[in-house]
Structure 1
Amino acid sequence: MPDWFLTLTHWLALPEVGLSTVFVVAFVSATLLPMGSEPAVFALIKLNPDLFWPAILVATAGNTLGGAVSWLMGLGAHKALDRARGNATELRALRWLERFGPKACLLSWLPGVGDPLCAVAGWLKFPFWPCVAYMAIGKFARYVTMTAGLLWAFPGHLPA
């Protein structure tokens, strides 16, 4: 394995703090901030293969809670705009999303559109807990799939 890859993996995993780093990175990356948590999850697992499931679960929890915060921000934005305008706000471009309801949050794992989707779910006042449940399912599937794929693509063990 190239030295640069080992150095990058070690830096991304921040093994001194491990799972807590994965949680924070996953949480922040699920808000509307442009950031990806997959490199940190992969790096931690690559350095500590025995942490595969704990890292997946911690990343899923952090990313789902970040999605819940985005949902709350969307709801807050909707309420603030309603108060400022003096009436209910309805955006026609979002009507198609209303057809799917909370199940649309299964797509919260998609790059680029997934995180704003959580905010839109809040904006549309979709029920909070069903949205969070669907977010968790989608995000868990993403972490398992992406991490397993990366481990398949980079199968070698890192030297101690």
Structure 2
Amino acid sequence: MPFESWGLIGLFASAFISSTVAPGGSEAVLAYLVSRHGHSVLELVAIASVGNTLGALTTWWLGQWGAQKYPAESLVKDRQRSLQTIRRWGAWALLLSWLPLIGDGLCFAAGWLRLSFLASLTAIFFGKVLRYIAVAYVFV
């Protein structure tokens, strides 16, 4: 595997991890790779967006799984606010899934409330793409 591929794998892994409940720094990895000019910006944004979307969908799935096991009253207070936001705005709220801490709660709540997978995927993906385009633009 060429050395350059490790950067892409690292970007994907960082993006995936940072979109779950674990902290990560995918924006820093993307900024570094964009500034090196070793890959196309479109390729880097696509890899980061897909990795981050898959991480968010993992959190969405955990919400669905959790809804089967535990009543809504057992959720911690920040998840209760996320549930209210998703109930009010539906999948549109997932455009903000890129926000640190808040986005994880929104994805979890969307899964908990069994929002449409396709609507959730679409909103999450577009929110992530727009964020990574903005980050890449700053470092091109």
Q: Structure 1-normalised TM-score? A: 0.74
Q: Which amino acid is the alignment partner of residue 94 of structure 2?
A: C
Residue 79 (1) aligns with residue 68 (2) = yes
**Ranges of 4+ aligned residues in structure 1 off by more than 2 Å:** 48-51, 89-97
Q: Secondary structure at the match of 1:17?
A: helix
Alignment of 1:15-54 (within 5 A): 15=4, 17-54=6-43
Which structure's CA Rg is the greater one?
1
Are the aligned partners of 2:86 and 2:106 in contact in 1 as well (CA < 8 Å)?
no
Aligned to 1:146: 135
- Once the two structures are superposed, residues 86-123 of structure 1 have per-residue CA deviations (whole angstroms, 9 ceiling, x without a partner) of xxx46764334212111111110112311221111111
Q: Which runs of 5+ in 1 are unaligned?
A: 1-13, 83-88, 152-160
Cα distance in 2, alignment partners of residues 112 and 100 from structure 1 = 18
Report the CA distance between 1:49 and its aligned residue: 4.9
Cα distance in 1, alignment partners of residues 123 and 50 from structure 2 = 12
Q: Which amino acid is the alignment partner of residue 63 of structure 2?
A: G
Q: Which amino acid is the alignment partner of residue 108 of structure 1?
A: S
Aligned to 1:66: 55
Cα distance in 2, alignment partners of residues 68 and 16 from structure 1 = 25
Cα distance in 2, alignment partners of residues 95 and 41 from structure 1 = 33
Of residues 93, 97, 114, the one that matches 1:125 is: 114
Residue 101 (1) aligns with residue 101 (2) = no
Q: Structure 2-normalised TM-score? A: 0.84
Are the aligned partners of 1:102 and 1:121 in contact in 2 as well (CA < 8 Å)?
yes
Q: Secondary structure at the match of 1:125?
A: coil
